[in-house]
Amino acid sequence: MENHQLILVLDFGGQYNQLIARRVREQHVYCEVKSYKTPLSEIKAMQPAGIIFTGGPNSVYDDASPRCGREVLELGIPVLGICYGCQLMAHLLAGTVSDAAEKSEYGKTEVRLDRTSTLFSDLQENEICWMSHTDFIANAPEGFRVTATTATCPTAAMENAEKKLYGVQFHPEVNHTPHGTDMLRHFVYDVCGCTGDWTMGKYIENQLASIRRQVGDGKVLCALSGGVDSSVAAALLSKAVGRQLTCVFVDNGLMRKNEGIEVEEAFKTRFDANFVHAKAQQRFLNRLKGLSEPEAKRKAIGEEFIRVFEDEAKKIGKVDFLVQGTIYPDVIESGLGDSAVIKSHHNVGGLPDVVDFEELIEPLRMLFKDEVRQMGLELGLPEHLVWRQPFPGPGLGIRVIGEVTEEKLAILREADAIYREEIANAGLDRSISQYFAVLTDMRSVGVMGDGRTYDYTLALRGVTTTDFMTADWARIPYEVLDRVSIRIVNEVGHINRIVYDITSKPPATVEWE
């Protein structure tokens, strides 16, 4: 069994809930995010070494605001409240939270810290912190002392060290609080007594043991898309159960240049599992014939993926387990309500319905993306696969604008490969979050040699982002764009014009379709 120390993050709807968990895990302390509604009995059973209350958009005085019982503060387990979580702590313990602030405090703010507090012990007296609040704590609860203030906030931090209860009005988890990680480290190590016993190596060992226990001598099936998550999940499983695993790689023919071969090569040479490379480009092209509307294309590709996988699964027959590469951000309930569907994302998520299996295995469901990458490297997957930039399930099918044909795919694949090569040559491949070429369905007049051309316009896209919910267009140096442009028109046929996309998200999206 896994027997590492645990920090529990109770989520009150804050937008930074996952960030808090990541910061704690960066300290080699295991951390999980749970809803504020988690029953007390469950919290106790988890035996956390400490609890962190997140921020949230509410005011503790609203009847509908998310709350936990005061009992959580009476378990003798250290608690750190952040922003709303700090106000909630004050409110539950009969301090006063006021909404009579003359103005909200927002942004980088100078705070004055009391360095006798364990949280702030090796910091400067004046530090910059990220604030985002309107309500404030006018009076800390009895038994608490104020350990930080700002020009407008009388209680920027408070604590009752004896009861191990701490609160900060600011956000130590964001980068805008330069020494926030130090504060979190002080909390988990010096207050909660954690020792940093969580490492990827140990986590992998535990996972291997628990997968072997779960699988016994059963048969396991895994759908490989070539993406990071499914590749790492497959690598872990093959390490755990070897030939009891069959990986089915659905090659939709909509991948980038050489990608299909690279995935096959990575698995066949490194891992001892059964590997099926289902080359299905023609099936996908047939399905896409005559379709030009983005959602119709997405739907067709998603459905065909399932059909191809289903056909392969039938050949294998009944299996005991199906592997899914679900990762932690998909598991954590979001504090947000339903949002409008802008694009229907197709991932390998719809498979359980078409495979005859007993149990799902989701070995990555507790990991963040950067941890999945780290696991991939430790399992011996090649860097180019582990650091692969995000690539949509429908692949080049949504980067060829309008109807997809084999000819257009070939043009785009070559152009995109040149773009990627030049970005890598310029050393920009890790600093631009995602970059790719799009083949538009627009043609225009050009001149080449002495002749008139009437050919396609290619668009280059590059974005920087941390979460892909919003993104800025990447400021790629002109010289790099120039090299890319010259090479593409010279080396790839049927492109006579190249444009660079300078819209951010919103109002645009990252992909064009």
- Total of chain residues touching ligand XMP, rule CB under 6 A: 14
Residue 230 in contact with ligand XMP, rule: CB under 6 A: no
Considering only residues 64 to 93 of the shown chain, the ones binding ligand XMP according to CB under 6 A are: none
* Residue 394 within binding range of ligand XMP, rule CB under 6 A: yes
Nearer to ligand XMP, 500 or 512 (CB): 512
122 DSSP 8-state letter: T
Find the shortest distance in angstroms from Cβ 349 to ligand XMP: 9
Residue from 67, 179, 369, 505 touching ligand XMP (CB under 6 A): that is: 505
Q: Rank residues 117 and 434 by Cβ distance to ligand XMP and give the closer one.
A: 434
Strand pairing class (136-139; 96-98): antiparallel
CA distances (Å), 441 to each of 214, 252, 409, in order? Answer: 50, 21, 12
Task: Say whether residue 226 binds ligand XMP (CB under 6 A).
Answer: no
Instruction: Write each residue from 341 to 380 as x if it is in contact with ligand XMP (CB under 6 A), else as -, in one continuous string.
Output: --x-xxx---------------------------------
Burial class (CB in 10 A: 0-12, 13-18, 19+), 158: buried
Residues 458-487 that bind ligand XMP (CB under 6 A): 468
The distance of closest approach from Cβ of residue 21 to ligand XMP in the complex, given in angstroms and rounded to an integer, is 22
In the complex, what is the shortest distance from the CB of residue 387 to ligand XMP, in angstroms, rounded to a whole number?
A: 14
CA 401 to chain centre: 27
- Tell me the closest approach of the beta carbon of residue 448 to ligand XMP, in angstroms: 32
**Tokens in use for 204?**
């992998």
* Residue with smaller CB distance to ligand XMP, 132 or 252: 252
Residue 432: C-alpha distances to residues 418, 429, 477 (Å): 16, 6, 12
Instruction: Pick the closer one to ligand XMP by CB: 118 or 464.
Output: 464
Pick 135 or 304: Cβ nearer ligand XMP: 304
DSSP 3-state helix, strand, coil percentages of the chain (rounded to 5)?
35, 25, 40
Number of Cβ within 10 Å of residue 462's Cβ equals 24
Using CB atoms within 10 Å of the CB of residue 308, give its burial: 0 to 12 exposed, 13 to 18 middle, 19+ buried: buried
390 binds ligand XMP per the rule CB under 6 A: yes
Question: How far apart are alpha carbons 164 and 50 in whole angstroms?
Answer: 9
**Nearer residue to ligand XMP within complex by CB, 192 or 476:** 476
Check binding of 510 to ligand XMP (CB under 6 A). yes
The reply to whether 299 sits near ligand XMP by the rule CB under 6 A is no
**Cβ atoms within 10 Å of 378's Cβ, excluding its own:** 17
Q: In this structure, what token pair is assigned to residue 145?
A: 């002392």
Query: DSSP letter at 243?
Result: G
Interface pick for ligand XMP out of 78, 81, 180, 392 (rule CB under 6 A): 392
Q: Which residue has the tokens 């991939």?
A: 376
The residues pairing with 443 across neighbouring beta strands, listed in sequence order, are 456
Residue with smaller CB distance to ligand XMP, 194 or 364: 364
Output the CA–CA distances (angstroms, integers) from residue 36 to 180, 198, 246, 405, 507, in the order listed: 23, 24, 40, 50, 33
434 binds ligand XMP (CB under 6 A): yes
- Active-site residues: which are they? 83, 171, 173
Q: Does 393 bind ligand XMP (CB under 6 A)?
A: yes
Q: How far is the CB of 341 from ligand XMP (least distance, A)?
A: 10
Q: Does 329 bind ligand XMP (CB under 6 A)?
A: no
Cβ–Cβ under 8 Å, residues 430 and 443: no
Measured from the CB atom, the residue of 8 and 438 that comes closer to ligand XMP is 438
- Amino acid code (one letter) for 442: M
Task: Please report whether residue 26 would count as binding ligand XMP according to CB under 6 A.
Answer: no
Say how far apart CA 166 and CA 78 lie, in whole Å.
8
Stretch that binds ligand XMP, among 146-154, 271-279, 361-369, 387-395 (CB under 6 A): 387-395
Asked if 494 touches ligand XMP (CB under 6 A), the answer is no
Query: How far is the C-alpha of 172 from the C-alpha of 178, rounded, in Å?
Result: 8
Q: How far is the CB of 240 from ligand XMP (least distance, A)?
A: 25
Structure token digits, residue 74: 């009476």
Task: Pick the closer one to ligand XMP by CB: 67 or 343.
Answer: 343
Which C-beta is closer to ligand XMP: that of 363 or that of 395? 395
Identify whether 506 is preceded by a cis peptide bond (ω within 30 of 0): yes
H/E segment holding residue 233: helix 228-241
What type of residue is 320?
D
Interacting residues of 34 by C-beta distance below 8 A, sequence separation 6+? 8, 9, 10, 11, 42, 43
Min dist. Cβ of residue 353 to ligand XMP (A) = 18
Kindly tell me the burial class for residue 511, based on how many C-beta atoms sit within 10 Å of its own C-beta (0-12, 13-18, 19 or more).
middle
Q: How far is the CB of 469 from ligand XMP (least distance, A)?
A: 8
- Least distance between ligand XMP and beta carbon 255 (Å): 13
- Minimum gap (Å) between residue 468 Cβ and ligand XMP: 4
CB atoms within 10 A of CB 319: 21
H or E, element range at 237: helix 228-241
Asked if residue 324 binds ligand XMP (CB under 6 A), the reply is no
Determine the interface stretch with ligand XMP among 87-95, 229-237, 449-457, 505-513 (rule: CB under 6 A). 505-513
Can you tell me which residue has the tokens 């941390």?
466
Site for ligand XMP in 232-271 (CB under 6 A): none
Residues in contact with ligand XMP by CB under 6 A are 343, 345-347, 390, 392-394, 434, 468, 505, 509-511
